[in-house]
């Protein structure tokens, strides 16, 4: 297919290398060096999308990150990418793109023809139209999204590989335009380690589309020379295709480097990194991020064919594409006249330059005059005419301030309107640091405010729009940044770049070009093209009482799109300021926040996905569990056996079997994951006694004690057994999930409150493997593999521990029990975990020893009414609430952590929720955990809640379901019937009973 | 992301190695049982929330596992100094 708009001068593209691509299903051809935008324009594709609210046809406006209209979906399937800007997608062979909005397609848009949809969406439409009924919001939102089209996320897993890289540098230069390049060169020359990053495919910034001569060579040659110079410094890292998208505290910046996107979707084949996120800590930062040209706002300024003046020049000079034939240039400044010169040089027709100023006479203006181009001074383009392409511009004389039309409106036929309302400094990254932008009337732009970070802005992003001044500023800043980072003396080393710039006259501060009708009546004058925010909409927001720029932004959705208002925001604020009859500096600006441009989740996640998402911890017996077909559950980072199904057993069947085996013969549990903290020192007993509710001062060597730890507010925080290993030496067991928190808690108190106590903590969780042998036959099993410990019940009692040898391995054996049965917890060095495990399995064969997992452990302990901290407690439960007053020492000399809170009025109050058992009237029904408890199920909603179910299981040993619950005043309500309304609408009646279902006297663990 | 100087390790390290420990210089009452509920409640629940200078504890949890104090500006997030537990800050000031 012929590329109608290709120019003979190919710019920086290679016209000999054709590239095939499709857009909305139609095949086109572009050339090497094109962006998707330049290729579409070369092919004369006017309409690239439909607008958000009004579904109006929209064309390409810009040439970079500012593009609001050309939003596309790239490819399909797992690697598809939504919401890319056509101006930022480099063309590659086989590229497939489609518009994200427009239904059924952009050229025949049903929504647009129906035309009613936009009228449902005035400013604040979220709040007005879809407020009620709330129930329908989900339906509304679904419809809005489908109709407006915000791209489709892939549903399959991302096939690509991403990476993260932590970096440090002395000077980070953001932006490789003229100012950035000289800044990097100076910093490098001083000896600093430099990173220079730029979002474009090649360095040069504005110079890539410039006809300027620098140091007697073309801009392109000058850029090439600079890159070559930078290549010579070994400490300079050049990052093209790399967007610095966030500036965070303490000079931490993030860069998204696109490594293979320009080669195609999944070009890395799942091996080569697609995108890499650099996390950079920079000593000094130079921001050289340039500026965005500001469009003029006029009626129907959204018709395809209305473009940024600088973008027209860029397509002509850099890509060799003329996006039209008959140009009208609407401007408020000298700078944009260059576009008329470029268009004329390309051999195309400049119909007129329409300048809002009354008597412009700058050097560029005179050059245009000399070319014989018509200049309409003191005029504005007040309206564009056309449907899917501009056909004419309505031009009218303006008064001196540009606020009103003063004469006849005339119609000038054209197919392209280039506009320039001046330039807005790209202050985004500076704003990320918290610096408050400052409005500068003299340049009609915000400038970066003062920042607490080690950074400075140079060139256009600092409001220094002249090339020569920007180069001087860049070089100075580069040398200074290097000096502050410890390199060089801060003086510029290279001689100034030689160039001649045309002298420019002042621009006019004009944002909204007046129409013969006021904004509320005129055809829409669009401010934010992506979200269809118009000047009339902003004025309406003001009439409705909104005054703060932040509120107006949210009410109108100004700047909420994927372009983040890079084109529209300043115009919107100026129009708002005008409507409020105040200055722009009084109105202020909204705050820019990261990300500067959209960032893929893949790059943020890097390699921390799948297996590497979170570390997994395995016990030393893990392989055995896997070999036995165990099902696992996550407990913190640990993988613990959940249950061991035999054959085709279900969870319930396996757990019932395991539970019966423990109570009737013997079971074995891998308890290695329990937290273990080795505590030593002359003050160890005193310290431990301060941390637990009960006392350890008289705990003898060889003895264990169960303890509960409180936070200072009196609420249960962790529990476990603590053993005295020898004088001044203890071993504290914690819950599996609580181990790290308990160690930090101990260290906090020792280091900050009682440094005088001599006590030392070491985590030994991973050093030991623990096999719990439990059940009436436990002693017989252990006896077969342990000969050097007297296991008889009067010599080795409940809550004793002994050193000994198990299966030939040195072991600590604890008689502690979480099942209520006779139990031996055998601890050996983790290296021998599997060895003793297999020895115990072998020894237990004649008793049908049954390995069991966490589910059976939970059921067995619930049968005994033993709590699990974090399941039966939730950080608001005292020992008394858990019916565990017996654990609280009443006569401890030192006021242990949390003790004082146990006598606060709130912890003493009646009607606190207390731990009880629940027995469903229908013994088969297992209550859902978390079920709410009410006294009267017939009461009107919202019902008065009495508490909730904390643990609930079917107990094969009891022959009925069991539950633990916390119920207001529950300990005084034993025997009462309460009701649990469940999610499926049924209500389950249950009786309040003791929380101890099995062996209430606790005899079985003492045998 | 902050960069924090650990006074024990004597190195600037990344925030990821630390965890926040709340307001510093809160001494546990020596005789809690003698306090009224209100006095105990003040110790337990009430914390400063200044705009400006704040003295706070940090814990070098994946480093030396030592607690220390930092003087931080809560507006700019500048860390003005770090110092060991048991010593006093050299920078003091009311929240602006």
Q: Is the alpha carbon torsion for A399, A405, A410, A413 positive or negative?
A: positive
C-alpha span between A53 and A150 (Å, rounded): 12
Bridge partners of A991? Answer: A919, A977
| pLDDT value at A583 more than 50 | yes
| pLDDT value at A607 more than 90 | yes
The 10s digit of each residue's pLDDT in A864-874 is 999 999 999 99
The 10s digit of each residue's pLDDT in A345-395 is 999 999 999 999 999 999 999 999 999 999 999 999 999 999 999 999 999
CB of A248 within 8 Å of a chain B CB? The answer is yes
The 10s digit of each residue's pLDDT in A682-725 is 999 999 999 999 999 999 999 999 999 999 999 999 999 999 99
Q: How many domains does chain B have?
A: 1
pLDDT at A564 (0 to 100): 84
Whether B53 is in a domain gets the answer: yes
C-alpha span between B49 and B47 (Å, rounded): 6
Longest dimension (CA), chain B: 43
Range of the domain at B53: 3-84
CB-CB under 8 Å, A248 with B40: no
Output the 3-class SS for A246-297: EEECCCEEEEEEECCHHHCCCCCCCCCEEEEEEEEEEEEEEECCCEEECCCE
The predicted model gives A100-126 an average pLDDT of 59
The predicted model gives A839-855 an average pLDDT of 98
Structure tokens at A686: 């005193």
* HSE, side-chain direction, 13 A CA sphere, residue A369: 12
Structure tokens at A582: 């105040």
Interface residues on B facing A, Cβ-Cβ cutoff 8 A = 1-3, 14, 19, 21, 27-28, 31-33, 35, 37, 40-41, 44, 57, 59, 61, 65-67, 76-78, 85-86
pLDDT at A54 (0 to 100): 83
**Residue A199 and residue A157 in contact, taking contact as beta carbons nearer than 8 Å:** no
Integer CA distances (angstroms), A631 to A659, A673, A852, in order: 16, 16, 11
Whether B90 is in a domain gets the answer: no
Confidence of residue A588 (pLDDT cuts 50, 70, 90): confident
> Is the confidence metric ipTM above 0.85 for this complex?
yes
Burial of A415 (0-12, 13-18, 19+ CB in 10 A): buried
pLDDT at B96 (0 to 100): 42
The predicted model gives A488-503 an average pLDDT of 96
The 10s digit of each residue's pLDDT in A662-683 is 999 999 999 999 999 999 999 9
DSSP states of A664-708: HS-EEEE-TTSEEEEEESTTHHHHHHHHBSS--TTPPTTBEEEEE
CATH number, domain of B51, equals 3.30.2270.10
The predicted model gives A121-132 an average pLDDT of 57
> What's A505's DSSP letter?
P
**Chain B residues closer than 8 Å to A248 by CB:** 1
Rg over alpha carbons for chain B, rounded to the nearest Å, is 15
C-alpha span between A693 and A985 (Å, rounded): 43
Burial of A608 (0-12, 13-18, 19+ CB in 10 A): exposed
Confidence of residue A55 (pLDDT cuts 50, 70, 90): confident
Pure H helices in A522-600: 535-543, 549-556, 568-580, 584-587
DSSP states of A785-833: H--SS---TTTS-TTBEEEEEETTEEEEEE---SSSS-EEEEEEEGGGH
C-alpha span between A761 and A282 (Å, rounded): 38
**Residue A459 and residue A473 in contact, taking contact as beta carbons nearer than 8 Å:** yes
Go through the domains of chain A in sequence order and give each one's CATH number: 14-148 (3.10.20.440), 161-288+425-484 (3.50.50.60), 294-421+507-516 (3.50.50.60), 518-595 (1.10.10.1100), 622-673+767-860 (3.30.1360.120), 675-766 (3.30.70.1400), 908-1007 (2.40.30.110)
C-alpha span between A57 and A388 (Å, rounded): 6
For residue A537, give the 3-state DSSP assignment: helix
CB of A250 within 8 Å of a chain B CB? The answer is yes
Chain A nearest-CA distance from B52, in A, is 14
Whether B93 is in a domain gets the answer: no
Structure tokens at A791: 């296991």
Confidence of residue A124 (pLDDT cuts 50, 70, 90): low
pLDDT at A561 (0 to 100): 83
| pLDDT value at B62 more than 70 | yes
CB-CB under 8 Å, A747 with B32: no
Nearest-by-Cβ selection for A753 from B19, B28, B77: B28
**Comparing A443-457, A560-574, A726-740, A923-937, which segment has the lowest mean pLDDT?**
A560-574
Q: Which helix (H) or strand (E) holds A227?
A: helix A219-231
Chain B nearest-CA distance from A637, in A, is 17
Chain B nearest-CA distance from A373, in A, is 54
Confidence of residue A123 (pLDDT cuts 50, 70, 90): low
The predicted model gives A31-59 an average pLDDT of 93
Whether B96 is in a domain gets the answer: no
CB of A904 within 8 Å of a chain B CB? The answer is yes
Structure tokens at A379: 């005029």
| pLDDT value at B90 more than 80 | yes
CB-CB under 8 Å, A752 with B85: yes
Structure tokens at A707: 């303890």
Scan for tokens 């049908």, then name that residue. Answer: A848
Nearest-by-Cβ selection for A900 from B19, B40, B61: B40
The 10s digit of each residue's pLDDT in A764-777 is 999 999 999 999 99
CB of A216 within 8 Å of a chain B CB? The answer is no
C-alpha span between A331 and A337 (Å, rounded): 8
**Residue A557 and residue A541 in contact, taking contact as beta carbons nearer than 8 Å:** no
Bridge partners of A423? Answer: A293
The candidate with the shortest Cα–Cα distance to A560, out of A123, A87, A102, A73, is A123
| Portion of chain A with pLDDT greater than 90, in percent | 89
Whether B89 is in a domain gets the answer: no
Whether B91 is in a domain gets the answer: no
Integer CA distances (angstroms), A957 to A185, A663, A669, A819, A856, in order: 79, 8, 18, 12, 11
Rg over alpha carbons for chain A, rounded to the nearest Å, is 37
Pure H helices in A80-196: 110-114, 125-128, 137-148, 178-189
The 10s digit of each residue's pLDDT in A279-289 is 999 999 999 99
Confidence of residue A43 (pLDDT cuts 50, 70, 90): very high
Phi and psi (nearest 5°) for A810? -60, 130
The candidate with the shortest Cα–Cα distance to A229, out of A185, A176, A286, is A185
Chain A nearest-CA distance from B3, in A, is 6
Chain B nearest-CA distance from A907, in A, is 11
> What's A486's DSSP letter?
T
pLDDT at A113 (0 to 100): 52
C-alpha span between A40 and A27 (Å, rounded): 11
The predicted model gives A837-854 an average pLDDT of 98
The predicted model gives B33-54 an average pLDDT of 96
**Residue A919 and residue A988 in contact, taking contact as beta carbons nearer than 8 Å:** no
Structure tokens at A145: 């999204």
Say how many CB pairs under 8 Å bridge A and B. Answer: 55
CB-CB under 8 Å, A899 with B86: no
The 10s digit of each residue's pLDDT in A780-805 is 999 999 999 999 999 999 999 999 99
Structure tokens at B52: 């400006």
Integer CA distances (angstroms), A117 to A105, A418, A736, A955, B34, in order: 16, 30, 56, 59, 70
CB-CB under 8 Å, B33 with A899: yes
C-alpha span between A463 and A725 (Å, rounded): 72
Q: Which of B24, B34, B44 to mutate to test the interface with A (most CBs of A within 10 A)?
A: B44
Confidence of residue A125 (pLDDT cuts 50, 70, 90): low
Whether B94 is in a domain gets the answer: no
> Pairing mode, if any, of strands A638-643 and A760-763?
unpaired
Bridge partners of A162? Answer: A275
Whether B32 is in a domain gets the answer: yes
Neighbours of A598 (CB within 10 A): 17
**Residue A3 and residue A29 in contact, taking contact as beta carbons nearer than 8 Å:** yes
Pure H helices in A402-452: 428-432
For residue A928, give the 3-state DSSP assignment: coil
Among chain B residues, the shortest Cα distance to A249 is held by B1
DSSP states of A317-372: HTT-B-S-SEEEEEESSSTTHHHHHHHHHTT-EEEEEEESSSS---HHHHHHHHTT
The predicted model gives A229-238 an average pLDDT of 98
The 10s digit of each residue's pLDDT in A404-440 is 999 999 999 999 999 999 999 999 999 999 999 999 9
The 10s digit of each residue's pLDDT in A298-349 is 999 999 999 999 999 999 999 999 999 999 999 999 999 999 999 999 999 9
Among chain B residues, the shortest Cα distance to A434 is held by B76
For residue A953, give the 3-state DSSP assignment: strand
CB-CB under 8 Å, B57 with A752: yes
The separation between CA A669 and the C-alpha centre of its own chain, rounded to angstroms, equals 40
Integer CA distances (angstroms), A846 to A780, A783, A791, A833, in order: 10, 13, 19, 22
**Chain A residues closer than 8 Å to B14 by CB:** 281
The candidate with the shortest Cα–Cα distance to A590, out of A429, A431, A425, A424, is A431
pLDDT at A142 (0 to 100): 59
**Chain B residues closer than 8 Å to A747 by CB:** 59, 65, 67
pLDDT at A880 (0 to 100): 97
């Amino acid at each position: 297919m012929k590329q109608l708009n290709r120019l003979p001068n190919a710019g920086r593209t290679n016209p000999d290398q054709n590239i095939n691509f499709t857009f909305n299903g139609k095949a086109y051809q572009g050339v090497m060096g094109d962006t998707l935008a330049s290729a579409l324009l070369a092919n004369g594709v006017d309409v690239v999308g439909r607008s958000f609210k009004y579904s109006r046809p929209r064309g390409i406006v810009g040439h970079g990150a500012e593009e609001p209209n050309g939003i596309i979906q790239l490819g399909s399937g797992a690697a598809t990418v939504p919401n890319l800007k056509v101006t930022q997608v480099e063309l590659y062979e086989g590229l497939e793109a489609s518009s994200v909005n427009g239904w059924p397609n952009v050229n025949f848009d049903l929504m647009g023809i129906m035309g009613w949809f936009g009228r449902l969406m005035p400013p604040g439409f979220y709040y007005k139209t879809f407020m009620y009924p709330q129930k329908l919001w989900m339906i509304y939102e679904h419809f809005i999204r489908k109709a407006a089209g915000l791209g489709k996320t892939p549903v399959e897993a991302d096939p690509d590989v991403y990476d993260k890289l932590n970096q440090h540098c002395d000077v980070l230069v953001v932006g490789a335009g003229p100012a950035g390049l000289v800044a990097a060169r100076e910093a490098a020359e001083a000896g600093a380690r430099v990173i220079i990053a730029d979002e474009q495919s090649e360095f040069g910034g504005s110079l890539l589309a410039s006809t300027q001569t620098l140091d007697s060579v073309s801009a392109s040659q000058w850029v090439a020379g600079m890159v070559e110079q930078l290549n010579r410094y070994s400490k300079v890292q050049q990052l093209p295709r790399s967007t610095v998208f966030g500036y965070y505290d303490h000079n931490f910046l993030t860069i998204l480097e696109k490594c293979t996107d320009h080669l195609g979707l999944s070009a890395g084949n799942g091996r080569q990194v697609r995108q890499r996120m650099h996390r950079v800590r920079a000593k000094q930062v130079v921001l050289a991020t340039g500026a965005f040209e500001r469009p003029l706002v006029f009626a129907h300024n959204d018709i395809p064919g209305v473009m940024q003046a600088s973008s027209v020049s860029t397509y002509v000079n850099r890509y060799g594409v003329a996006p039209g034939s008959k140009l009208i240039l609407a401007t408020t400044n000298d700078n944009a006249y260059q576009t008329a010169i470029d268009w004329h040089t390309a051999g195309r027709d400049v119909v007129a330059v329409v300048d809002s100023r009354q008597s412009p006479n700058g050097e560029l203006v005179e050059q245009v005059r000399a070319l014989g181009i018509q200049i309409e001074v003191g005029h504005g383009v007040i309206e564009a005419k056309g449907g899917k392409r501009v056909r004419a511009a309505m031009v009218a004389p303006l008064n001196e301030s540009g606020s009103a039309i003063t004469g006849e409106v005339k119609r000038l036929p054209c197919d392209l309107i280039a506009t320039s309302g001046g330039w807005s400094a790209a202050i985004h990254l500076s704003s990320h640091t918290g610096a408050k932008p400052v409005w500068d009337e003299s340049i009609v732009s915000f400038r970066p405010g003062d920042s607490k970070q080690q950074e400075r802005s140079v060139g256009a992003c600092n409001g220094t729009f002249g090339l020569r001044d920007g180069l001087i500023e860049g070089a100075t800043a580069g040398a200074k940044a290097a000096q502050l980072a410890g390199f060089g003396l801060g003086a510029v080393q290279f001689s100034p770049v030689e160039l001649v710039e045309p002298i420019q006259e002042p621009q006019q501060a004009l944002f909204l070009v007046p129409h013969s009708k006021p904004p509320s009546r005129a055809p829409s004058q669009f401010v934010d093209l992506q979200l269809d925010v118009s000047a009339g909409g902003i004025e309406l927001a003001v009439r409705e009482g909104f005054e703060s720029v932040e509120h107006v932004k949210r009410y109108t959705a100004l700047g909420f799109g994927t372009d983040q208002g890079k084109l529209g925001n300043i115009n919107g604020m100026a129009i708002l300021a005008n409507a409020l009859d105040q200055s722009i500096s009084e109105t202020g600006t909204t705050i820019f926040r990261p990300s500067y441009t959209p960032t893929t989740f893949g790059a943020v996640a890097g390699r921390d996905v799948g297996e590497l998402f979170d570390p997994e911890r395995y016990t030393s017996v893990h392989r055995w569990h896997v070999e036995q077909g165990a099902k696992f559950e996550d407990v913190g980072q640990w993988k613990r056996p959940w249950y061991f199904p035999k054959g085709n057993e279900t969870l319930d069947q396996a757990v019932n079997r395991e539970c019966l085996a423990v109570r009737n013969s013997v079971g074995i549990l891998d308890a290695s994951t329990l937290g273990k903290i080795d505590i030593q020192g002359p003050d160890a007993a005193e310290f431990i006694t301060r941390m637990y509710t009960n006392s350890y001062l008289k705990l003898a060597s060889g003895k264990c004690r169960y303890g509960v730890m409180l936070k200072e507010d009196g609420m249960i925080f962790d529990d476990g057994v603590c053993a005295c290993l020898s004088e001044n030496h203890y071993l504290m067991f914690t819950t599996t999930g609580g181990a790290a928190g308990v160690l930090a808690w101990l260290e906090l108190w020792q280091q900050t409150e009682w440094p005088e106590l001599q006590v030392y903590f070491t985590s030994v969780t991973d050093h030991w493997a623990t096999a719990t042998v439990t059940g009436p036959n436990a002693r017989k099993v252990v006896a077969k593999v342990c000969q050097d410990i007297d296991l008889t019940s009067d010599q080795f009692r409940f809550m004793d521990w002994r050193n000994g040898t198990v299966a030939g391995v040195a072991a600590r054996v604890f008689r502690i029990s979480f099942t209520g049965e006779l139990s031996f917890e055998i601890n050996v060095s983790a290296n021998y975990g599997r060895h003793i495990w297999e020895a115990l399995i072998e020894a237990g064969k004649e008793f049908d020893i049954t390995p069991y997992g966490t589910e059976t452990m939970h059921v067995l302990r619930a049968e005994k009414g033993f709590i699990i901290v974090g399941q039966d407690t939730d950080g608001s439960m005292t020992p008394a609430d858990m019916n565990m007053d017996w654990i609280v020492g009443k006569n401890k000399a030192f006021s242990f952590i949390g003790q004082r809170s146990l006598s606060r009025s709130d912890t003493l109050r009646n009607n606190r929720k207390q731990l009880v058992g629940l027995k469903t009237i229908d013994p088969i029904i297992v209550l859902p955990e978390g079920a709410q408890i009410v006294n009267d199920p017939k009461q009107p909603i919202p019902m008065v809640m009495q508490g909730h179910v904390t643990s609930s299981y079917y107990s094969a040993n009891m022959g009925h379901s069991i539950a633990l619950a916390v119920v207001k005043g529950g300990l005084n309500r034993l025997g009462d019937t309460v009701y649990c309304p469940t999610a499926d609408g049924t209500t389950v009646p249950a009786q309040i009973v003791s929380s101890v279902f099995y062996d209430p006297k606790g005899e079985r663990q003492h045998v | 992301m902050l960069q924090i100087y650990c006074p024990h390790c004597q190195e600037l390290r990344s925030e990821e190695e630390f965890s926040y420990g709340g307001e510093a210089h809160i001494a546990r009452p020596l005789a809690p049982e003698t306090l009224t509920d209100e006095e105990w409640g003040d110790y337990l629940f009430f914390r400063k929330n200044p705009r400006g200078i704040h003295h706070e504890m940090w814990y070098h949890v994946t480093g030396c596992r030592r607690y220390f104090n930092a003087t931080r500006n809560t507006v700019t997030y500048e860390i003005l100094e770090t110092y060991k537990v048991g010593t006093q800050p050299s920078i003091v000031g009311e929240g602006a």
